[in-house]
Chains A and B, each alone.
Chain A
Amino acid sequence: MKKIVFWYFILVLLAYILPYTLFTHVSHFYGSFLFWIIFALITIGILTVMMRAWKNEN
């Protein structure tokens, strides 16, 4: 779990860094717009996997 959370935060950092560096001059929807959408979909996927471990507890 800790490993996943670590990589997750790297991903969040990239969501801050890449649009201001790599995509800062891309004036199309396939630039920052698409990047952030893909970022969100990946994070949703990771969170879904993390929640799979939740079981019933008394």
Chain B
Amino acid sequence: MKIELIWISILVYIVWGTIIAVLSRRGAGKGVVDYFLANRKLKDSISSLSYSATTYSAFMMLGLVGLAYKGGVGALGFELIYLSGLVLAVFFGPMFWRAGSHYNCISPAELLSVRYHHKTVGAASAFISLIFLIPYSAVQLMGIGYLLETLSRGKISFVVGVLIATLITWVWTEVAGLRSIATTDSLQAGIMLVSSLILIYVLVYRFLGGPGAFIHTVETTYPQWLMVPGNGYFRFQTFLGLSLPWFFFSISNPQVSQRLFVPASLPKMRKMIGGFLGYGFLYTLITIVLGFCTLVLFPGLTNPDQATPTLLSRLSLPPLIVLLVTVGIFSAAISTIDSVFLTISSMFVRDILRVKKEVEENKQIVVAQIFITILCVTSFLFALMRFNLIAILSVASSAGLLSIVPATVGAFLWKRGNKEGALCSMIGGAGLSFLLQMTGWKPWGFWPGVWTLIVSTILYFGVSRLTPESSNDDFFHTIKGK
């Protein structure tokens, strides 16, 4: 791949995205609701595509392809179980939406503060999200660094790749908040899907002899990859450890659950989630098949995260396709990081900064913009540490965020749940998750996410039962709707 072509495609992507981001400012208001939630009014198609692009990160084309390459069909099960977890968004979505509109909540943590009558609950949730989402964002940056380094055969160094991604994220987030993020996201979602579809088509028909021959090759050469535990990678504990945190992704990851505040009405939310379900199913299938394609074409890779970059750099693919796929992966990473940064910054100003005293709306936006810059620098530095295994790090982040789930579910379903229970559950669960992940300890073979969920659930119910009840009838009346 000629280095000039790579630079030109990156440049076109940056210029084009920046123009769209700037144009999205037209008609924008000035308040925090406008900056963080696009005034709770996004077009159906944009909100659906943006939800998809935010959810599906570079993990899909790098981490998930690598997982399918290494462990086989278990990767498909893991990701489709995640998709089935959207039942939580469908079940709790209307409640989120009603409470968000009624109490003017901007971040999911703010909703917890309202429900539990105490700002420290929201602050704790915001702080946990901040701690666990920085590695997740850094992993996305690393994905771009590795990809550009491999494709350019080292001419674009890992550091330069990470720096480019960080700068794009910074600009596109700062320009107009969710408006610029959503419009760039929706176009990026298109690139992600189209580029990966074209790649699969070319691989299967040009290099693997068509679908029939490809299926036959996999079944005869790699039969173990079509079963679980199969080749041994997807032991049940591993499968559960990977899939459980992701099943709860739609309510545990604030950058996604915050989107439940955005639609103007419930029918619009239906379109957002419905569109995402179709997109997610197709994109998942493509990435898994891509993993199998790489397995057949390039067996024996030592680092599974390099599966897609290897495919792009070592196969004689038309340069245009390579560039399109590269931009697609770029898009997947950027569209996730910018949403994560915007959400974390909203949680910082709404839930952490306002614990002690109220802050003016204009100041909130200024502080959020400064905080986004700090997040960019922190994630950039974190990415430079080059931790191994993109998939595992991504799941580790989601495992930590599981500590928020019992307090979130209980907020809607259990009137007896109180702030003491919520705080102990979140802090205890997150602390345990952090400890298990730092030590690498997996009691009885089960991953940190499993223990995080169990312990934080026990703490939530146990502590709420043992401490005085504090009812919030207005909240429960509000989430029921009319």
Contacts and interface: CB of A to CB of B under 8 A. Distances in A.
A54 B81 contact: no
Given A8-B87, A51-B90, A51-B274, A33 B226 contact: yes
A23 B227 contact: yes
A28 to B, nearest CB: 6
Nearest to A1: B91
A37 B73 contact: no
B424 interface: no
Interface string B256-290: 00000000011101100110011001001100000
Contacts of A37: 76, 80, 285
Given A33-B226, A56-B267, A28 B219 contact: yes
**B interface, size bucket:** 35 or more
A27 B227 contact: yes
Contacts of B274: 47-48, 51
A39 B227 contact: no
Nearest to A9: B87
B266 A55 contact: yes
A8 B267 CA distance: 22
Interface in A1-40: 1, 5, 8, 11-12, 15-16, 19-20, 23-29, 31-33, 36-37, 39-40
Interface string B284-311: 1100000000000000000000000000
A28 B133 CA distance: 38
Interface in B82-107: 83-84, 86-87, 90-91, 94, 98
A32 B73 contact: yes
Contacts of A16: 81, 239-240, 243
A11 to B, nearest CB: 8
B319 interface: no
Contacts of A46: 87
Contacts of A40: 80, 83-84, 281, 284
Contacts of B90: 47, 50-51
A27 B223 contact: yes
Interface in B223-251: 223-224, 226-229, 236, 239-240, 243, 247
Contact residues of B: prevailing secondary structure: helix
Contact of A12 (B76, B84, B224, B226): B84
A54 B266 contact: yes
Contacts, number: 115
B482 interface: yes
A27 B226 contact: yes
B81 to A, nearest CB: 6
Interface in B14-57: none
B481 A57 contact: yes
B369 to A, nearest CB: 33
Contacts of A47: 86-87, 90, 273-274, 277
A6 B226 CA distance: 30
B1 interface: no
B281 A44 contact: yes
Contacts of A39: 80, 84
B77 A19 contact: yes
Contacts of A52: 270
A20 B228 contact: yes
A29 B214 CA distance: 11
Contacts of A28: 219, 223, 226
A55 B265 CA distance: 8
Contacts of B266: 54-57
A5 B227 CA distance: 28
Contacts of B91: 1, 5, 50
A39 B73 CA distance: 14
28 contacts: A1-B91, A8-B87, A12-B81, A12-B84, A16-B243, A19-B73, A20-B236, A23-B227, A23-B228, A24-B229, A26-B226, A31-B73, A31-B227, A32-B73, A32-B74, A33-B76, A36-B80, A37-B76, A37-B80, A37-B285, A40-B84, A43-B87, A47-B90, A47-B274, A52-B270, A54-B267, A56-B267, A57-B266
Given A16-B243, A47-B273, A48-B274, 8 more contacts: A11-B84, A20-B236, A26-B227, A31-B226, A32-B77, A33-B73, A50-B90, A50-B91
